[in-house]
Chains A and B, each alone.
Chain A
Amino acid sequence: GAVVSQHPSWVICKSGTSVKIECRSLDFQATTMFWYRQFPKQSLMLMATSNEGSKATYEQGVEKDKFLINHASLTLSTLTVTSAHPEDSSFYICSARQYGYTFGSGTRLTVV
């Protein structure tokens, strides 16, 4: 079946630094990828939708300049959290859409 690989699974960074999270579709081409953020014991909040070769569409309230999304190929999308702060600490999950929605295993970001 469809597999989405997300790396890293966890990362700790210092406040003010940037962190890049990768999401790869391993055995299919994903024209659309989604990035979600999940707070502890809460649901998934859609941050943005990215289509290969075009700019991402961000949900209302999500800072485009802080959460940079690049979808340069049909198998890779990246989320870069720029100038991270402790309030950016969260669980980030990507999802790739082909005939259905396949989710990555998530990235636990902790900003100290």
Chain B
Amino acid sequence: AQSVTQLDSQVPVFEEAPVELRCNYSSSVSVYLFWYVQYPNQGLQLLLKYLSGSTLVKGINGFEAEFNKSQTSFHLRKPSVHISDTAEYFCAVNTGFQKLVFGTGTRLLVSP
């Protein structure tokens, strides 16, 4: 079975600073990895995904993530955050079959 760990429940950061949100996964087979963002009282929006190929994945809103198979990680990064990036971020994994397995989420708090 797959599992996802997001160790940081909350990450405070100042505007224009860089940020990294950590995600580690566990799986005995090859996985597909996703990062989603959720704004209050809204659904989830896909930021980026890793299916295969280049381990550095670029997504929307200036975010990128790097798949590291040896460390079973898929950390999300942004070089310079904005106030509008304040939201909940979820890492998710699946093996190409049906279900997405989500991490517990990381709340990114960007302050001026």
Contact = CB atoms under 8 A, between A and B. Distances in A.
Interface string A70-112: 0000000000000000000001010101001101111010000
Interface stretch (A14-22, A38-46, A61-69): A38-46
Nearest to A94: B43
Interface in B35-94: 36, 41-46, 49, 90
Given A91-B41, A106-B42, A43 B100 contact: no
Contact of A103 (B43, B49, B103, B104): B43
Interface residues of B, number: 18
Interface string A43-64: 1101001000000000000000
A104 B43 CA distance: 5
A99 to B, nearest CB: 10
A100 B99 CA distance: 11
Given A49-B98, A97-B98, A100-B49, A43 B44 contact: no
A40 B44 CA distance: 15
Interface of A: 4, 6, 9-10, 32, 34, 41-44, 46, 49, 91, 93, 95, 97, 100-101, 103-106, 108
Interface of B: 34, 36, 41-46, 49, 90, 98-100, 102-105, 107
Across the A-B interface, the 6 shortest Cβ-Cβ residue pairs: A103-B43, A103-B44, A105-B43, A43-B104, A106-B43, A43-B102
6 contacts: A34-B99, A43-B90, A91-B41, A103-B44, A105-B43, A108-B41
